[in-house]
Amino acid sequence: MPLLQVQNLTTYYHTLRGPVHAVENVSFTMDKSEALGLAGESGCGKTTIALSLLKILPWNGRIINGSIFFKDKDITKMTEDQLRKEIRWKGISLIFQGAMNALNPVYRVEEQIVEAIRTHEPKIKKREAKERIAKLFEMVGIEPSRAKNYPHEFSGGMRQRAMIAMALACNPSLLIADEPGTALDVIVQAQVLKLISELKSKLNLSIMIITHDLSIISETCDKMAVMYAGKIMELGDVVSLFKKPLHPYTQGLISAFPNIKAKKQEMVSIPGSPPNLLLPPPGCRFHLRCGFAMDVCKKKEPAIIEVSKGHHVACHLVSR
Amino acid sequence: MEEIVIKAEDLKKWFPIKTSFLATLLSRREIYVRAVDGISLEIKKGEILGLAGESGSGKTTTGRLLMRLIEPTSGKIFFKNTEITHLEESDMKPLRRQMQIVFQDPYESLNPRMTVGDIIAEPLKVLGAAKDEKEIEKRVYEVLEDAELIPPQEFIFRYPHELSGGQRQRVATARAFVLNPEFVVADEPVSMLDVSIRAEILKLMLSLVDKYKTAFLYITHDLALSRHICDKIAIMYLGKIMEQGTNEQIVFEPLHPYTQALIAAVPIPDPSSKRVDVIIKGEIPSPINPPPGCRFHTRCPSYIGDICRKSEPPLIDMGNGHLVACHLYGSKAKS
């Protein structure tokens, strides 16, 4: 039984101009201590998936359809109270994008983590919570005495580490990191990614990394899902996806990524920009930018099929 | 030999920090942020120099100094054999036509109340580079076509909010190149854009550099991208250039321990290649009190003793224009 099983998840944002089809019919599974990378351009629905898993969508966001089974229980059917007691922080926790701004500047870091722990585990005393924080800080590589500092006294990398410590405060089994590398310098980014991989093996964590940076996924994840305009285009293990990408979008995305060790080469890009999700294009959502688009792509939406074990693709070129 | 367009000699920019009145009374010493602390570089016609480094290393300040957008504390700037370090603004104005800049964020660098046509025509009007309206219009059309905003008549009356991020950056690029400048600074021009369209914008810039034979300073923190677009790369750390060379030299034979760490830290989009594990610890120190001696010694994995702490290594030539500032190579220099 997988740890997380998402089936046909569909999430819309309701706006005055109609629903935004942010995530549509997305299905994937995650096993224990597995790392999944969710890749795609901005606005393709990566973060919406994370928010749906925790049911912390903004007021106009709604899960329209689908189920999210986490350890045999359907998250979509849970009440707020259940979610707080069983899922958020204790089952699944999220490191938000932009660690720089995710901490409250007027509270000490320690107080913020104590609050998080005591909200989700009311029985824990303040003292115990503080002891736990000291251990967590040691684990993520910050001097435990620094917990008494305010966020502005931390550097960017330390804030990111503190966010990771905070996310791990209630022993979750799944950690979601939303753009853990952006806004950090390469060296600090490498340090943070190394920390995440170490924690993964040490704590037997499952990790979901949301990023537009394919190189981060290739270095830290076992599986990768490529999203475009609210849909998963291709899903499979990292090695086969990078070696033999089948979807034209995945191919484009991989070749758009410069490899520092490769020969100096002409850079490749995917012309055009992602579609408006208020009115997603009919047929395959990628057909407007696809170099291989055929007539059928404009009319019929390709189903996602399994081409080899664990490797799923949604493209008419493959299903032909 | 190709003509040198822009050249800096021992350029420094120290920003004073405001201290309280009492603190000023008690100690006469002023405190400075040493953003740029003595760098020398030159860019030839048609050459692309990448200036790379972590945030806070002084890359952007260098770019602005070279454009004379801020006044240097000391040092000299030459633009085609003319020293422009202390030129009056009125003498500077004719030169402004020949130096342009593309900023990082195309969402903030374009005036939302002006149409694309007006935005691109503005430099022509302000600097009086065109005879009449007709010529302005002709030039705007030309450069829109260069920037692949085709057909131009469709874009000329649009406002920035009607454009995508990539198109906006094309407009910013078109605006920079409309005057046929000899020197262009691009400050992280693609870091706000999606990966899938970065290459397009860079290709556009490269083709314009090639067409107009511009000297191009590309400021970035992304070494993987610089590798594919620059001719030369200079690595900055805390206001100093640590290493400089052709992109092949920097990527495949990095000499400075800092460059080596930077290159090793760049993630590689190929799951079968494993990263070499030389990650340096900590983060960039504050430029207010940079470490004495070699600025990198506090984080350096190949620290060789007192010399690193006490004396600052000079930038020495290791052959073929490969410059490095590190005591490890002190005796091996080719003078």
Tens-digit pLDDT profile for residues B36-77? 999 999 999 999 999 998 888 899 999 999 999 999 999 999
pLDDT at A15: 92
pLDDT of residue B28: 66
Q: Where are the alpha helices (DSSP H) in chain A?
A: 46-54, 80-82, 99-102, 109-120, 126-140, 156-167, 186-203, 214-220, 238-243, 248-255, 295-299, 316-319
pLDDT at B216: 96
Which three-class secondary structure state does DSSP give residue B255? Answer: coil
- % residues pLDDT > 90 (chain B): 54
> A239 and B195 in contact by Cβ < 8 A?
no
pTM score, whole prediction: 0.86
For residue B333, is pLDDT > 60?
no
Tell me if A249 sits within 8 A of A290, measured CB to CB: yes
Question: Which residue from A42, A187, A215 is facing B269, i.e. has the nearest CB?
Answer: A215
The pLDDT, as a whole number, for residue B242 is: 95
pLDDT in tens, A52-61: 999 999 999 9
Contact A155 B283 (CB under 8 A): yes
Q: Flag if B227 and A155 touch (Cβ within 8 Å).
A: no
Select from A254, A258, A273 the Cβ nearest to the Cβ of B166: A273
Instruction: Judge whether residue B25 has pLDDT over 80.
Output: no
Residue A65: pLDDT over 60: yes
CB contact under 8 A, A238 and B197: no
Please tell me the predicted confidence (pLDDT) of residue B276. Answer: 63
Tokens for B262, please give them: 């930077």
Residue A175 pLDDT > 60, yes or no? yes
- The verdict on A239 touching B (C-beta cutoff 8 Å) is yes
Over residues B267-322, the pLDDT tens digits come to 888 887 766 665 787 788 888 888 999 999 999 988 888 899 999 999 999 988 89
Please tell me the least confidently modeled range out of A141-155, B101-115, B163-177, B189-203.
B189-203
B194 in contact with chain A, both atoms CB, cutoff 8 A = yes
Q: What is the pLDDT of residues A227-266, one digit of tens each?
A: 999 999 999 999 999 999 999 999 998 888 888 887 777 7
Express each pLDDT in A265-296 by its tens digit.
Answer: 777 888 888 888 999 999 999 999 999 999 99
Q: Report CB contact under 8 Å: B194, A269.
A: no
Q: Which of A237, A240, A241, A260 to mutate to test the interface with B (most CBs of B within 10 A)?
A: A260
- Cβ distance B195 to A155 less than 8 Å, yes or no, reads no
Going across the sheet that includes A311-313, the strands are A92-95, A174-178, A206-211, A35-39, A223-228, A231-237, A311-313, A305-308
**Whether A157 contacts chain B with CB within 8 A:** yes
Please indicate whether residue B335 or residue A52 has the higher confidence score (pLDDT).
A52
Chain B CB contacts of A212 below 8 Å: 194-195
A269 contacts in chain B (CB < 8 Å): 196-200, 203
Spell A41-68 as b/e; 16+ CB within 10 A means b: bebbbbbbbbbbbbbebeeebebeebeb
Whether B6 shows a pLDDT value over 90: the answer reads: yes
Put simply, the answer to whether B221 touches A186 (Cβ < 8 Å) is yes
Query: What are the start-end ranges of the H helices in chain B?
Result: 21-26, 59-66, 89-96, 116-126, 133-146, 152-155, 165-177, 195-212, 223-229, 247-252, 257-265, 306-310
**How confident is the model at residue B1, as a pLDDT?**
53
* pLDDT of A180 over the 60 cut: yes
Q: With CB atoms and an 8 Å threshold, state whether B196 touches A190.
A: no
**Per residue in B118-127, pLDDT tens?**
999 999 998 8
ipTM for the assembly? 0.81
B77-104: per-residue pLDDT in tens?
999 988 999 888 888 988 998 999 999 8
Mean pLDDT of A125-136: 94
Tell me, what's the pLDDT at A56?
A: 93
Evaluate if residue A30 carries a pLDDT over 60: yes
